[in-house]
Amino acid sequence: MALQLPEFPWDSLADAKRVASEHPDGLIDLSVGSPVDPTPGILREALGDASNAHSYPQVWGTPRLRQAIIDWFARVRGVPGLTERAVMPSIGSKELIAGLALWLGLGPGDTVVIPEVAYPTYDVSARLVGASVHAGDDPASWPDSTRLVWLNSPSNPTGRVLGLEELRAAVARARELGAVLASDECYALLPWDVEDAPSVLDPRVTDGDVTGLLVVHSLSKQSSDAGYRTAFVAGDEQLVQRVVGVRKHLGLIPPAPVQAAMVAALDDDDHVAEQRERYRARRETLLTAVRGAGWSTESDAGLYIWAGNGEAAREQVHAFATLGILVAPGDFYGDDTRVRIALTATDAVIEQAAARLRANIA
């Protein structure tokens, strides 16, 4: 049977992009969320210093990288006690999310649970192996056939953060079902209207037992190195080693210079704090303008403003496009009433977008 995948969502934005590009002052693209700020010098230097990469790198990551991931979880995420067998780098987070169901051996008859409003790749991961998809945020609704559960906190696109009790309930239900619970926490270091975004590996959630649990994290946004493809997974040793074994056969290996750059990024918290403040300022500028233009908004954490004005998502996309601003429709994620607006543009471009929104109201 031929593999059936949906149309790549962003291909459907061609008409809106054309309209936005006709604006006399040019296109402002806030649809994708690709970082624009320079990659920090410490990462570039580490990459260059490791460029004499004549040997094959390790799929599992160098011992130095594995230790950097362990130290980062303990220092930054409040997750102590991970071992080197419990962590692994990946080539960005998207490939790991898309491939996890395959590497865990899921197939027809199994169910993958995803959030009700969700990043499309969770759905794609199930389609790749012929598994069923259940979109449900309530653990009580998860069917008995569930073998993999995806959480996403903070959420892309909504910015919603799951609290400790919600995470505990999800873990308990996944274990009741005998399912792996994987938590995508790529935006965890960008909290705005919440104190923090706890990890599913936090001892307050797990009571010290990470059996059946995995966390995916990316450095792309916090370290402005999306082009390096830097991410990692951590959690249950047996699950991590199972994934490592499959990836050895497939040759899925982060390049050695990139692994060195990851160590530099994980060891340094200052550049992350600086980048977070850039996004905080951009968010405040754009959030005020979007609200002033008549949209209600959600943006507790992460790199996006989740906005709606009561119209269908594509109509809202068109309204922004007439101002030369391209945004993503909520139907990409399962909600036809909202749009996603990315904060990944320079200070000057964000101010231009805000000015166009203010001028339109005036």
In this prediction, residue 195 carries a pLDDT of 87
Judged against a pLDDT cut of 90, whether residue 7 lies above it is answered with no
Radius of gyration for the chain, computed over Cα atoms and rounded to the nearest angstrom? 20
**What are 142-162's pLDDT values in tens digits?**
999 999 999 999 999 999 999
Tokens at 340, concatenated: 């996603």
CATH topology of domain 9-38+271-361: Aspartate Aminotransferase, domain 1 (3.90.1150)
CATH code of 41-267, in short, is: 3.40.640.10
| Strand partners for 87 | 234
**What are 173-214's pLDDT values in tens digits?**
999 999 999 999 999 999 998 889 999 999 999 999 999 999
Residue at 310: amino acid letter: G
Mean of all residue pLDDT scores within the chain? 95
Q: Where are the domains of the chain?
A: 9-38+271-361, 41-267
Judged against a pLDDT cut of 60, whether residue 362 lies above it is answered with no
Residues whose CB falls within 8 Å of the CB of residue 62, separated by 6 or more in sequence, listed in order:
256, 259, 260, 263
Judged against a pLDDT cut of 80, whether residue 23 lies above it is answered with yes
**Is the dihedral angle over the CA atoms 248, 209, 98, 51 positive or is it negative?**
negative
In this prediction, residue 277 carries a pLDDT of 97
Q: Do domains 9-38+271-361 and 41-267 have the same CATH topology?
A: no
In this prediction, residue 8 carries a pLDDT of 74
HEC secondary structure over 27-72: CEECCCCCCCCCCCHHHHHHHHHCCCCCCCCCCCCCHHHHHHHHHH
- pLDDT tier for residue 301 given thresholds of 50, 70 and 90: very high
What is the SS3 assignment for 234?
strand
Please compute the mean of the pLDDT values over residues 40-55 and round it to a whole number: 96
**What are 104-127's pLDDT values in tens digits?**
999 999 999 999 999 999 999 999
In this prediction, residue 83 carries a pLDDT of 96
Residues whose CB falls within 8 Å of the CB of residue 284, separated by 6 or more in sequence, listed in order:
none
Residue at 219: amino acid letter: L
- Locus of tokens 């975004």: 197
